[in-house]
Homo-oligomer: A and B are copies of this chain.
Amino acid sequence: MDKQIATTLFESLASGIRLDIFRLLVKHAPTGLVAGEIAAELTLPPTNLSFHLKAMTHADLLNVTQEGRYQRYRANLSVMQALVDYLTAECCAGHPEHCFDAGEASACCHKD
């Protein structure tokens, strides 16, 4: 993952609304939710929701499929995993001893 992609993903998560959307869709994985269900759950005006959904989809954080007149959104968990790996690499890069306490060192095994 390059810096540009990481920055875009962080932007996507740097809003309470978008973080709520993502967490809601993780909770409903792998089924996902249609736009109206998300709007109802988060009580957002549809245009505002659409604005954020579009941004997140463009950032590849969400996937969307059409179901008749509905749009079903799903969290893209593999991108989230890649972001966690990127962040772990940034965090540990050359300095795992400073990033993880001794007791937790064994928990850091994403970069095997």
Q: Which 7 A-B pairs have the closest CB atoms?
A: A10-B14, A11-B14, A80-B91, A10-B13, A77-B99, A14-B14, A29-B95
What is the size, in residues, of chain A's interface with B at 8 Å between Cβ atoms?
Answer: 40
Supposing A3-B19, A83-B87 touch, asked if A95 and B13 sit within 8 A by C-beta, the answer is: no
A residues with CB within 8 A of B: 3-4, 6-7, 10-11, 13-16, 19-20, 22-23, 26-27, 29-30, 77-78, 80-81, 83-84, 87-88, 90-91, 93-95, 98-100, 106-110, 112
Q: Are A27 and B93 in contact (CB under 8 A)?
A: yes
Q: Are B77 and A26 in contact (CB under 8 A)?
A: no
**What's the nearest-Cβ distance from chain B to residue A81, in Å?**
6
Least Cβ distance of A58 to chain B in Å?
A: 15
CA distance A111 to B18 in the complex (A): 24
Q: Among B4, B15, B112, which residue has its beta carbon within 8 angstroms of that of A7?
A: B15
CB distance from A63 to the nearest CB of B (A): 12
Q: Report the Cα distance A19→B84, complex, angstroms.
A: 15
